[in-house]
Amino acid sequence: MQRLKNLFEIMECPNRYKVALATYQFEGEVKYWWGIVKPREGADPLTWERLKEMMDNQYYPRDVRRMKEREFLSLKQESLSIMEHATKFNELSHFAPHQVNTEERRMDHFEQALRGGH
């Protein structure tokens, strides 16, 4: 999923194309899952946000999502390099979108974690 987000950002991909481009990349079990859940002809088109939500629900059970959110909220740089910390921060922030829903909030959380406290 992160690879797709990076690709969309680099390509400046409009939201209306994201679902089609993402689902085109699906392979194996994810492709099978998509064949079952994708909207049928005539149904309202699926948004990128809704697709991400559906995938999270399918592949990250609720207790895992909550655990990852708590891990994000307690994240501290400690012995990690800045790059390692940034990677971990970006990975875990996916599980706490309401905590990083603006650039200002995202930067506040990142800086607090660097200082060692949330």
83 with 103, same domain: the answer is yes
Determine contact, residues 58/33, Cβ cutoff 8 Å: yes
6 with 52, same domain: the answer is yes
31 with 54, same domain: the answer is yes
- As for how many domains the chain has, the answer is 2
29 with 70, same domain: the answer is no
Predicted confidence (pLDDT) per residue in 21-51, tens digit: 999 999 999 999 999 999 998 999 899 989 9
Predicted confidence (pLDDT) per residue in 62-93, tens digit: 899 899 999 999 999 888 898 999 999 998 99
pLDDT of residue 114: 87
pLDDT of residue 78: 86
Stronger pLDDT, 51 or 3, i.e. the higher one: 51
85 with 102, same domain: the answer is yes
54 with 66, same domain: the answer is no
Predicted confidence (pLDDT) per residue in 101-114, tens digit: 999 999 999 998 88
79 with 102, same domain: the answer is yes
55 with 77, same domain: the answer is no
81 with 55, same domain: the answer is no
pTM above 0.85, yes or no: no
* Sign of torsion over alpha carbons 7, 13, 15, 18: negative
Query: Residue length, the chain?
Result: 118
Residue 118 pLDDT class (50, 70, 90 cuts): low
Q: Which domain holds residue 107?
A: 62-115
